C-alpha cells in the first residue's frame, strides 16, 4: 500500500483562499491530513483509507486562530485502524456532508466535534459499523460540550445549539 499522506497534504496546503482539494474519484491511503486556516477542505467523490490510529482528517485552528468555512463533502472514509476518521477542533462554520464512514471498530468515533467549534453542520452522512463482529463501544458522532457555569461537566444544549436543534435519524439497517 502506498502512503499518499505527503502528496495529499502538499496539495491541500496549496488550496489557499478557501479552495477545495478534489479527490477525483480515486482512493488514497493516509496517516492523517490537517485542514488549517485558509484551506477550504476536501471534496469527493473519492475514498480515504486510514493507515494508522491517528485521526484521518483533522480540521484545526492555529495559534488561537480558528479555522473557518471548511467543507468535507462526498468522501468515503474507510477507517481501518484509525479511531477518528474526522476530528474538528477550534473550527467555525464547518460543513461535513454526504460522507460515508465505514470500518469503525471498538473505541472508534466516526465524527468528533470538540469544544471551540461553532456552527458545525453534519448532513446526510452514513456511518457504518462492521457486521461481522460484536462491538463493545462505538460512537458515530461525538459533540464535546463546553462546561456549563455552575455545573461542572454538564451539557447545556440551550447554550450550545441554535434552535431548532434538529434530529438524529437512525436507518433501519444500522445497528
CB atoms within 10 A of CB 169: 6
Q: In the predicted model, what is the mean pLDDT of the chain?
A: 80
C-alpha torsion sign, points 60, 114, 29, 173:
negative
Question: Is the pTM here over 0.85, yes or no?
Answer: no
- For 146, other C-beta atoms within 10 Å of its C-beta total 12
pLDDT over 90 at 95, yes or no: yes
Grid cell digits, residue 99:
460522507
Please give the pLDDT value at position 38.
Answer: 87
Grid cell, residue 151, equals: 455545573
**Rounded mean pLDDT, 93-106:** 90
Amino acid at each position: 500500500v502506498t502512503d499518499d499522506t505527503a502528496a495529499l497534504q502538499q496539495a491541500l496546503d496549496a488550496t489557499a483562499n478557501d479552495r477545495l482539494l478534489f479527490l477525483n474519484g480515486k482512493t488514497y491511503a493516509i496517516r492523517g491530513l490537517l485542514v488549517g486556516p485558509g484551506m477550504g477542505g476536501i471534496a469527493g467523490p473519492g475514498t480515504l483509507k486510514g493507515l494508522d490510529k491517528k485521526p484521518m482528517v483533522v480540521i484545526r485552528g492555529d495559534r488561537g486562530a480558528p479555522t473557518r468555512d471548511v467543507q468535507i463533502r462526498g468522501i468515503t472514509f474507510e477507517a481501518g485502524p484509525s479511531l477518528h476518521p474526522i476530528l474538528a477542533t477550534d473550527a467555525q462554520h464547518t460543513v461535513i456532508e454526504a460522507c460515508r464512514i465505514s470500518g469503525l471498530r471498538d473505541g472508534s468515533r466516526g465524527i468528533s466535534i470538540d469544544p471551540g467549534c461553532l456552527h458545525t453542520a453534519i448532513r446526510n452522512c452514513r456511518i457504518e459499523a462492521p457486521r461481522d463482529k460484536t462491538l463493545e463501544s462505538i460512537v458515530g458522532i461525538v459533540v464535546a460540550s463546553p462546561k456549563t457555569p455552575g455545573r461542572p461537566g454538564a451539557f447545556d444544549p440551550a447554550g450550545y445549539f441554535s434552535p431548532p436543534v434538529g434530529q438524529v435519524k437512525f436507518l433501519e439497517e444500522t445497528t
